[in-house]
Amino acid sequence: MGKVHEGNSNTEDKKTEFSLVRVKSTWKSKLGKKINKDAVDSVSAAKIYESITDRGTSWTVVSPITFTYKVTETHDLLDPTNDTLLLGHITDPQHLEDIKKSNKPIRRFVVIDQEVFKIYGPKLTEYLEANNVVYKILALPITEGNKSMETALKILDDVNNFALDRRTEPIIAIGGGVCLDIVGLAASLYRRRTPYIRVPTTLLSYIDASVGAKTGVNFANCKNKLGAYIPPAAALLDLSFMQTVPRRHISNGLAEMLKMALMKHQGLFELLEEHGCMLLDTKFQADNTLYGHSSVKVASQATHIAITTMLEELAPNLWEDDLNRLVDFGHLISPALEMKVLPSLLHGEAVNIDMSYMVYLSHECGLLMEEEKQRIISCMVGLELPVWHEEFTMELIQKSLQDRLKHSGGLVRMPLPVGLGQAEIFNNTSFDILQRAYIKWCEELSVSSDSTCDV
């Protein structure tokens, strides 16, 4: 028989708050909230709370961590007279001035997608040499299929051989979203956190992967199952890279742009609805033939709105502490679909198929009018995005939503449009509604009239 405690045990916390102050290079605990700042060198934002019960003492550490990173749109990033690639991440004016005055050569380790290197390798090399940079360029074949820890470790091995200084020499990643994700994870692992710079060369990475804090690789046949929330020191955006991107990849990026439009911004939706074909034709570049200068204005508006709305959602929630995230729209079923049919679907294409189904689900729930549903689907088709896939089955939907319950605090947290440019999070969508929406989706959008739905 266990011991019986008689009487009332005093297990109530006696919590004491300590501030942390620095005096002559030493941090000390100071009782209470009032600190004579004249008597100390600095006061930390961190706190230590000491709790004493009859069972012992515990310490709760509250240590606010602030990440500062820049998202900068620039032009002609690889022009040797443009120092943004080398110095654009620096926020302290004095630090910047000191570097410019120093005779010490700048050192940079660059990881670049092999296909991007074939196009921009000579220009990148010329840029680095013109600026007297001591450099190492690692060009790798980077695909969703080799988005793995093996690739990250290959990068880290070369970083280590370069003897990179993690304080002053950020790793530069140049490529699409897969490249930026892998390099970001590798940087976060090297000496626990080495700064890195993202240079997106696809539209999808320009408005999505480049502006957030996520890094990651695929693991156990699951997309981005290993990763960390470590934002770059800077994301440097140059739309001129889009001119060499294949049309399909421009369409792929437009899917993530459309996601933000449907969730947050009707004006962006109307831009894509009206000018999507022009954006595909011009690849977000100036066009002096068919469209004139209006192409530049629309491209600038669309990317600016997409990035702003994305940052609005990400900045307050970089670590995804709040699991109710509008940016998850199109990402409930698509990760499983993408991995299942790899490499036949690009990321944005899989996301759009997910969004297409969710639009039907929203209509079935009475959240979207028929006219709104049709406008959205027509916009997707106009952006040359797939709206249906035979492997997107009810079985896949159910399994994905069950998996989401495990990782989202027991709730589905399903973002759905409730109008053009408006959305809410839902948790109680019944199987019956999911299935009815799926059947209508298949009937109206399946690629051939004799296609059957797996229900």
Candidates 3, 15, 214, 399; catalytic one: 214
Phi, psi of 204 (to 5 degrees): -60, -45
Question: In this structure, how many other beta carbons lie within 10 angstroms of the beta carbon of residue 325?
Answer: 17
Distance between alpha carbon 342 and the CA centroid of its chain, in Å?
21
- Please, which residues bridge with residue 422 across strands? 419
Q: Which two tokens mark 108?
A: 């940079």
Other Cβ atoms closer than 10 A to 61: 9
CA atoms within 13 A on the CB side of 267: 8
Contacts of 330 (CB under 8 A, 6+ apart): 255, 259, 351, 352, 354, 355, 358
**DSSP H helical segments within 162-202, as ranges?**
177-189
Side-chain-facing half-sphere of 332: CA atoms under 13 Å: 30
- How big is the CA angle at 193 (ends 192 and 194), to the nearest 5 degrees? 130
* Cis bond before residue 343 (omega within 30° of 0): yes
> What distances in angstroms separate CA 402 from CA 4, 222, 248, 391, 399, one per listed residue?
44, 15, 32, 18, 5
Contact 12, 30 (CB under 8 A): no
Contact between 113 and 277 (Cβ < 8 Å): no
214 is catalytic: yes
At residue 29, what are phi and psi to the nearest 5 degrees?
Answer: -85, 135
Exposed / middle / buried, residue 102 (Cβ in 10 Å: 0-12, 13-18, 19+)? exposed
Which residues are identified as catalytic? 214
